[in-house]
Structure 1
């Protein structure tokens, strides 16, 4: 951020500039390894990772960050958002366009000035915030430029965290754990999902460790009773009855670095939930044991599926095993723990593994682990046991 904008209150980037320069350099090394001449980064999470700017102005049109070996980074943004980008990013070279119809022509002009007219340029074709019409508008202007899919290039770099990033995730997980403990202690007959969330918000607000207010809660999934059959259901005024299950998934984030977890509970007794959860616990233990440097993503995934297969209930699991976490944990292109995935685990990677199983009558119950890959294996970031809470 330039001195001109340093006087605006509560602006700037969360990490020192050398941290962002290190990240950009690692991406540029990957660009050269992939035999590309440049990369055009458009995914909001990737922009935040490389610049500090959270991408809030880029929610409906692309704000490309153009990285070319040997050149300074260029941020192309909407004119209306230029001040915010300068105030919240570490990028000095900023170009602007005014309207959506101007994007293709302006972006092509910038790429032309970067001497990319006949070069191989990576685009994040599989990520959010880049529409086919955006790519077409550029290609019309630069028909000889070869557009190569580089969806997975930035995630491969961002998967391995620095100590600064890991501290953010540890701080976020501490708040996530507080939310889970509040969820567990709030369960009593007649309480509603909304009331549990209100208690949780009060506990978070009363926590003095978050003095700067830079730790925020992502939209939680908090479901009680029959509503635990709904994946990603919104929080409502539905109340729990005795002998019913409860499900909670939440992730707090610091500077965009989210650390999430899944936990389930039963008010009284619910044999179906208890049986399903016992299996989920076995799966999680197998998954955590399989996480180690050199293991592939599909090998970790297979460790959990083997437990399900031995139980005869493999159809209870209907999603991928897990995925890398960090900024924007739902970004497309990130490492995914699923069959056939060849990504190799490395120390410094962080993974969210939510093992949510579907019971015989459709209740979605489970537990999970947020882990850091270390030289010795997996370090669990949460202090909350992955057992079923009985209220």
Structure 2
């Protein structure tokens, strides 16, 4: 049975309880619209979005958050982590299991108690942190349970930000901009990738507006010279030489809300990288100009591809045009600006548009924009131009 105990002070929850309740109500409205009787949330990002706690203590199984109309949300968690869940979430009803082999039975008991054993229940089948074995165990316990795929349900709600969330995104972007300016001002011959990464992190730590220390850097990609050919490479003790390119993909994060950015530079001259960057700027301008409420994600993606087609260099672009941002910005199932995507853009969404192009010699180079979808179109969140920085 769910237990309700006096809560430890909610020092780990960054938003008022009313904000989490608002999010849960919006998700429940989507549950009913999808003709589901309940939703089982297991994605770490979605758990954090709805409760404040991300389920990171579940080392062998998910920490499902069960949402259904007409009753409070219920967290099923490992007993060892119960007090942490109480301290770092806004969920009052918590059911605990002890060992790995208890998980399926305890979850099934909750389903029976809530009358869900033969109902339509949504699961995040296409998200991280839900193993096929978890689903199979529940199905074995509840043979009449109708498991439905609800991978996109929470992300479609979370895509539209509240004012509190947008405040986090703007604060994170101010720190991202500080990191980018530090990167640009630190480029000189023989400085290493790791040295600049450390300098950026220190700049954010020392900034007066980050006195509470609640903004930090997500993993940084910073690459010099030939190493710009490596996607998502980590900084190393590798120096930059004269007439070499420098690539930066970075994002500061506040309360899990990350504002990412791609910015590149050349120390001296590098014609191949400069040509790529000029094309990337054209693509970004077209994509940003196309963003407005009511546009489909696929139509926005197509505008950038048309610029590439007209340039005769379609082969330099090998990815999607952008994606939804916020908590856990790499979650599977989030809105994606890619060919054929039918999701409609809505005011309040935030999108990262990293236009990274690949030259014939393998250099990865380009620029990016991070935007808020408004009624007037796309609002650029960064104050730093996406033009090429020359050092």
Aligned position for 1:187: 187
Aligned position for 1:222: 222
Distance 2:193 2:52 in 1: 35
State the shift of 1:103 in Å.
1.1
Aligned position for 1:78: 78
State the shift of 1:2 in Å.
6.9
Distance 2:360 2:376 in 1: 38
Whether 1:245 aligns to 2:248 is no
Aligned position for 2:93: 93
The question of whether the paired residues in 1 share the 8 Å contact of 2:77 and 2:94 is answered with yes
State the shift of 1:60 in Å.
4.7
Whether 1:369 aligns to 2:372 is no
TM-score, normalised to structure 1's length? 0.98
Whether 1:5 aligns to 2:21 is no
Distance 1:143 1:201 in 2: 52
CA 1:59–1:388: 2 relative to 1, 3 Å = farther
The question of whether the paired residues in 2 share the 8 Å contact of 1:60 and 1:129 is answered with no
Tell me the SS of whatever aligns to 2:161. Answer: coil
Distance 2:69 2:321 in 1: 36
The question of whether the paired residues in 1 share the 8 Å contact of 2:205 and 2:216 is answered with no
Aligned position for 2:67: 67
State the shift of 1:3 in Å.
5.0
Tell me the SS of whatever aligns to 2:258. Answer: strand
Distance 2:175 2:48 in 1: 22
Distance 1:54 1:204 in 2: 25
Aligned position for 1:141: 141
Runs of 4 or more, structure 1, over 3 Å off, are 1-4
State the shift of 1:56 in Å.
2.4
* 1:115-137 deviation digits (Å, cap 9, x = unpaired): 00110000000000000000000
CA 1:4–1:68: 2 relative to 1, 3 Å = closer
* 1:109-168 deviation digits (Å, cap 9, x = unpaired): 111111001100000000000000000000000010100000000001000000000000
* 1:232-260 deviation digits (Å, cap 9, x = unpaired): 11110011110000000001111101100
The question of whether the paired residues in 2 share the 8 Å contact of 1:37 and 1:121 is answered with yes
The question of whether the paired residues in 2 share the 8 Å contact of 1:325 and 1:351 is answered with yes
Distance 2:311 2:193 in 1: 32
Aligned position for 1:264: 264
Aligned position for 2:26: 26
TM-score, normalised to structure 2's length? 0.98
Q: List aligned pairs for 1:32-51, cutoff 5 A.
A: 32-51=32-51
The question of whether the paired residues in 1 share the 8 Å contact of 2:297 and 2:338 is answered with yes
Distance 2:169 2:19 in 1: 16
* 1:74-126 deviation digits (Å, cap 9, x = unpaired): 00011111111000100000011112221111111111111001100000000
Instruction: Tell me how many residue pairs correspond in the alignment.
Output: 388
The question of whether the paired residues in 1 share the 8 Å contact of 2:204 and 2:216 is answered with no
* 1:300-323 deviation digits (Å, cap 9, x = unpaired): 000000000101111101111111
What is the alpha-carbon root mean square deviation over aligned residues? 1.1
State the shift of 1:290 in Å.
0.5
The question of whether the paired residues in 2 share the 8 Å contact of 1:44 and 1:55 is answered with yes
Aligned position for 1:119: 119
Tell me the SS of whatever aligns to 2:8. Answer: helix
Tell me the SS of whatever aligns to 1:368. Answer: strand
The question of whether the paired residues in 2 share the 8 Å contact of 1:59 and 1:129 is answered with no
